[in-house]
Every structure is written in C-alpha cells, then in structure tokens.
Amino acid sequence: MRPEVWDAMRPFVTDAFGNSTGPHAPARAAKNALEEARERVAATIGARPNEIVFTGGGTESDNLAVKGSVLFRGARGGVVASAIEHDAVLESVESVGELGCPTALVDANEDGVVEPDVIVTSVSPDTALVSVMAANNETGVVQPIQELVLALRDEGFSALVHTDAIQAFASERIDVRQLGVDLLSLAAHKLGGPKGMGILFVREGVGLEPGIHGGGQELGRRSGTANVMGAVGTAVAMERASADRTRYRKRTAAERDEFEAILADQKPEILVTGVRVKRLPGHSHLTIPDVDSQILLMKLDRSDLAVSTGSSCKSGAASASHVLLSMGMDVGQARSALRFSFGWTSQPGDGAKAARGLILALR
C-alpha cells in the first residue's frame, strides 16, 4: 500500500470505528467519511457519487456487474463476453447461463485484442450485457472499449456495456463518460490501496439485482456493514494513482523495456506477447519454448523474483491459461508462459535485475 493510504485509514481502526448506518455521533462521523470517499472516488473516473458502489473486491464487482444486470427483476437477458476475461467474469457468465440466460464468448486475435466487429456479430436484440475488459491482466494488452461501445450503438444495439478496468487504472486515464460504458469494475489493491476493496460504477438509471441482501446499503445494490476504513483508503489510493500516473508510466515502461531488451539480446528465443499492439507499460508476458513455467517459477521464487504463470488471483492453478488459448496458442505454448510486472514501487535497475534472474534460472 501507498503510505498515504494507511495514514488515512488508521483513524477508522480506532477513534472513528462507528457503523455508518447508526443514529449516533460516531456513526454519523463514519457515514460522513464514507460519503466523502464516494465523492472522491467518483471524481477520479468522471462519475456521480450515487453511481459508485463499494464492494468487497474486484471479483465481487465483476460478479455484481454481470449477474446483477442480466438478472434484474427476474430477467434472463443474454450475455456476450470476451474469452480473455478474468475468471470472475467468465464464471459469472457460466452461472447465469445455467439459469437460462443465452451466453456467448468471443476469442481474441493472435495479438490478444478483442476486435469490436467480432463482438458485434455475436450480439443480438436479446443481449442484455456485453463485457470486455479494459486491459488484460495476463498479457497487459489494452482493449478498444470506446470503439466497441460506438460499434454497438452504430448497429442499434442497446445492450449494457461492462468493462473490468482493474488492471488498467494505474497507468490509463479512466473516464466513464468518455468510454461510454454502463458498468465499470475497479480494485483498490492494484493501485496501492487495501486488499478486499472494490468499486463498481453503475451508470445512473441502470437496474441492478443485488447479489447480497440484508440491510439495503449502497442504495440497495449491495447490503452489508460498510467498510469505511477501506472506502477511505480506496479513495486516497485512486487519487494518488491518478496524480502519479505520468511518473508511473515512465518508470514502469523504462524497467519493462530494459527487461525485454536484455532478454532479446541474450535469449532471443523468448517471445514477448502483444508487442505489435498497445500494452500496459508495466506488463511483460513471455513464452519460453520447451520450458515448464511452473518449475521455472519455483526457481525464480528462490531467487526472490515473484512471478506469475497467469492470473495471480487464481489459486494454485497449473492449467494452461484460457487467455492464451483464446489467442490461438497451443497448450504447450500456454504452459510455457510467465508474466512479469512492474509497479509503483519499482526502482531503476529492477528490470535488469529481473532479466538477469530469469537468464540465470534458465541455465
């Protein structure tokens, strides 16, 4: 976490621990802090405060976006999603499909891009939601969300559009009005904020069936005692990430590019995914021929390099990445993939250090 985040959160562990729905002074203080955090979060993405729903993380945000929109008031609307989505979206799509909702998944091209015109061909008048992430969490490839929204509207489709922008926010400016989306998911821990806090932007007027019932918090869209401390920390993290974006892009891109340059010089057989299209500046996704990435990951871990074979959210999974299979890679290629990523704490020399560590592990 960014140090400013914990500084802002600390009072809500002790002096201001009130329940934001209560009638007394400590509760009012908590309520005021919660609503101020909502206003600050909304301002960072061009939204209105009443369009912000605090959730228990990005996974819950994705679930609520998909299930809540297509099941609103007993409906069974159709869903079209990209096949490279995070499992939080894909398994939500599978879940509503089991309830009778028509579903379709659309593959990415070989560069990892989900093409708007291909998505449009899978949409029908019965489609209630289209979900395509703003940038892929494994490859870092940025997706053409604004173009997708325009393509759908040009064809006369009124389906809601959801984008998982969890991986994108740190380096990419996110403005919900400019993108034209109806629902957008974020997670605080990707920005130097607390784990276990998510955001769902819900455009005013969009109906949402709650996934959690109880006290009717979040305007009835997500019940449960508010995590005031987490909301405050999320607001600070989003503000700091927005203010730090130029430096963040420059620093992470410099380390990523140095990392890839050293590998290209000394290990030219290593292939970098998505080099022909726009990628997030901190991502480097590699396929290493004839290498078992799981064994390599353990070697790197012993060298103090924390590397992922795919989505870092997937618990202990060693199967081939669905993202890479969607892009047309075979199972062998997909199982030889590693994801390196650089973040707001990255320092000069980290890219070179990571490259040297990988080269050493491959000997």
CA distance 169 to 135: 9
Q: Are 101 and 127 in contact (CB under 8 A)?
A: no
Q: Count of CB atoms within 10 A of residue 3's CB?
A: 9
Q: Are 115 and 109 in contact (CB under 8 A)?
A: yes
CA distance 239 to 191: 9
Separation in Å, CA 229 to CA 97, 101, 140, 217, 236: 36, 37, 30, 16, 11
Dig out the tokens for 78 from the structure.
């159709």
Three-state SS at 57: coil
- The DSSP symbol for 53 reads E
Q: Are 212 and 14 in contact (CB under 8 A)?
A: no
Spatial CA neighbour of 189 closest among 174, 211, 169, 164: 169
Q: Residues with Cβ < 8 Å from 33, sequence gap 6 or more?
A: 12, 16, 20, 228, 231, 232
Q: Are 182 and 39 in contact (CB under 8 A)?
A: no
Distance of CA 110 to the CA centre of its chain: 21
43, 83, 253, 313: the catalytic one is 313
- The DSSP symbol for 215 reads S
Is 313 an active-site residue?
A: yes
Q: Residues with Cβ < 8 Å from 199, sequence gap 6 or more?
A: 41, 52, 53, 54, 55, 61, 184, 185, 186, 187, 188, 234
Separation in Å, CA 50 to CA 29, 153, 162, 197, 207: 19, 25, 18, 18, 13
CA distance 338 to 325: 14
Distance of CA 303 to the CA centre of its chain: 28
Which residues participate in catalysis according to the annotation? 313
